[in-house]
A and B are shown apart, each in its own frame.
Chain A
Amino acid sequence: MSEQERILKFQIFRYNPQRKGDKPRMVTYEVTEAPGMTIFIALNDIREKQDPSLQFDFVCRAGICGSCAMVVNGRPDLACRTLTSKFEDGEIKLLPLPGFELIGDLSVNTGNFFRAMSERIESWIHDQYADEVNYDQLEERMDPDVADEIYELERCVECGACISACATKRMRDDFLGAAGFMRLARFAIDPRDKRSDEEFYDVIGDDDGVFGCMTLLGCEDYCPKDLPHQTQIAYLRKKMAMVR
């Protein structure tokens, strides 16, 4: 073992709710750190060499799919984008994202939440004249600045970190959460969505919506994609507060 190599100590939450009699516990694994190692690589190493029953999610390994979000030393983050070299003492504690249904160990079901969220805010372009569109004509041009702005908000990978980092959402299950506001803000600035402010108010104009946000800013501080949650929620709050 070279001098640079060090032994990482992983404390991992283990619990399989499907298995009768299983109890939640923390299990420690030791892994030899490799150059450029991420939490995701380390977890694979543990699963391959030490414990094949360890459950965690991943798809893309590049911070795009949002599947591998978990709580890393108290911080909701993507395992595939978190380098182990970040942790000077080599001790890493991994927990599943709170606020979501636990599948097992570090794996949670974010799908149910995001589907329900999408349906709740009607996450699609609303245009009552959509059926009368003339497909022989070019689509109306969009201002490139507006397109950029929409693109910026579209970067959400639905990892669920903002939901887990929000104490308001954790306390009040019906609260929409930052990912929902981000998605709605995306439609609110899209000129193709013809919904009026009153119609947006119908979706988020209550204490389960934008007025329930206590501005704890966990979403802003823990979003792995650095999305502008605080400014978007403030934008929606101002917009909704002015609805007559």
Chain B
Amino acid sequence: MESYIIESNKKKSRLPARLDLAQSGTGLILGLFMWVHMLLVGSIIFGKAAFNFVAKTMELAFLSDTGHGYPIAVFFAVSTIFTLFIIHALLGMRKFPINWKQHRIMRDQMQMMNHTDTNLWYIQAVTGFIMFFAGSVHLYIMLTNPASIGPYMSADRVVSGNMWPLYLILLICVELHGGIGLYRLCMKWGWFTGKDARKSREKLKKLKNRLTIFFLTLGILALLVFVVIGIKHRDKVGEKYEKLSAVVEQVDIKERV
């Protein structure tokens, strides 16, 4: 009974509050990051040079004299995102149905009401589950090959590395999960409620839908461009993209020699 006395007199744990905040916080960072990430990847639509510029800028090339950048910067960025991803997945798992009975009830409820926000939650749970695997593969590859982001090397990974199915799945999951998640965060914490919370909710939902469509379109277009580049570059897998000016410079040097 001693433990009962101790337990009864103890302050109620603040951990549930901290975990809830952590889940929302990591979700917010990851969701916003994914939108920025998609915009950066989307630069391939404007050409190889545009994507190369973005990739080099992410490697902090503007800080180095040679213009080659520091892939270690990418390594640290990926490590941070990977850590947040794992924490968020761990925290998100708490909300999953823990057994078949709970899952059955969830499905029954969805079938009975056909309620949009309940259905959206289920989509989030399913996409989250898929991302445990698909996201981990992508993040691990980026973590171990931080210098391999470039128009040719990325396209080679997509086509010759057979990663396009994984990226397609990941794209759909990330955009659905992130969009729904950010919308739910606003609802959860009462952000952007304005004077009329119900009207604000409608507006936020519309915005969420539009953003999801925009990012999915952008992602699919970017993936298509990578596929085209990758197919054309199939014979030279592993070759790095060189800026035109750099190539000209090298040719000049060779000629002078």
Contact = CB atoms under 8 A, between A and B. Distances in A.
A167 B97 CA distance: 11
Interface residues of A, number: 37
Given A202-B12, A207-B94, A218 B187 contact: no
A205 B12 contact: yes
A230 B201 contact: yes
Interface in B160-182: none
Interface stretch (B17-25, B29-37, B53-61): B17-25
Nearest to A93: B112
A68 to B, nearest CB: 18
A50 B105 CA distance: 33
A217 B113 contact: no
A98 interface: yes
B115 A165 contact: yes
B217 interface: no
Contacts of B19: 211
Interface stretch (A32-40, A125-133, A231-239): A231-239
Given A206-B12, A234-B190, A244-B14, A71 B121 contact: no
Interface string A87-129: 0000000010010000000000000000000000000000000
A130 to B, nearest CB: 24
A215 B95 CA distance: 11
A221 B188 contact: no
A61 interface: no
Interface string B108-121: 11101111011001
Nearest to B110: A167
A171 B105 contact: yes
A197 to B, nearest CB: 11
B157 interface: no
Interface in A1-25: none
A66 B112 CA distance: 21
Contact of A241 (B20, B94, B187): B20
A167 B109 contact: yes
B88 interface: no
Nearest to B187: A215
A3 B118 CA distance: 40
B231 interface: no
Nearest to B101: A171
Interface in A50-80: 71, 74-76
Contacts of B94: 207
Q: Which of B20, B21, B108, B201 has the most CB of A within 10 A?
A: B20
B224 interface: no
A234 B189 contact: yes
A215 B184 contact: yes
B209 interface: no
Contacts of A244: 14
A181 interface: no
B126 interface: no
A191 interface: no
B20 A217 contact: no
A213 B115 CA distance: 16
A187 interface: no
B45 to A, nearest CB: 35
Given A205-B14, A228-B197, A241-B21, A170 B188 contact: no
Given A170-B108, A211-B20, A214-B121, 20 more contacts: A74-B112, A75-B113, A98-B112, A165-B113, A167-B106, A170-B105, A171-B97, A201-B12, A205-B14, A211-B19, A214-B95, A215-B121, A216-B115, A218-B115, A218-B118, A221-B115, A222-B115, A237-B188, A238-B189, A241-B17
Interface of A: 71, 74-76, 95, 98, 165, 167, 170-172, 201-202, 205-207, 209, 211, 213-218, 221-222, 228, 230-231, 234-235, 237-238, 240-241, 243-244
29 contacts: A74-B113, A74-B114, A75-B113, A98-B108, A98-B109, A170-B105, A170-B109, A171-B97, A202-B12, A205-B14, A207-B16, A209-B16, A211-B19, A211-B20, A215-B184, A215-B187, A217-B115, A217-B117, A217-B118, A218-B115, A218-B117, A231-B193, A231-B197, A234-B189, A234-B190, A237-B189, A238-B189, A241-B21, A243-B17
Q: A-B pairs with the 3 shortest C-beta distances?
A: A234-B190, A211-B20, A217-B117
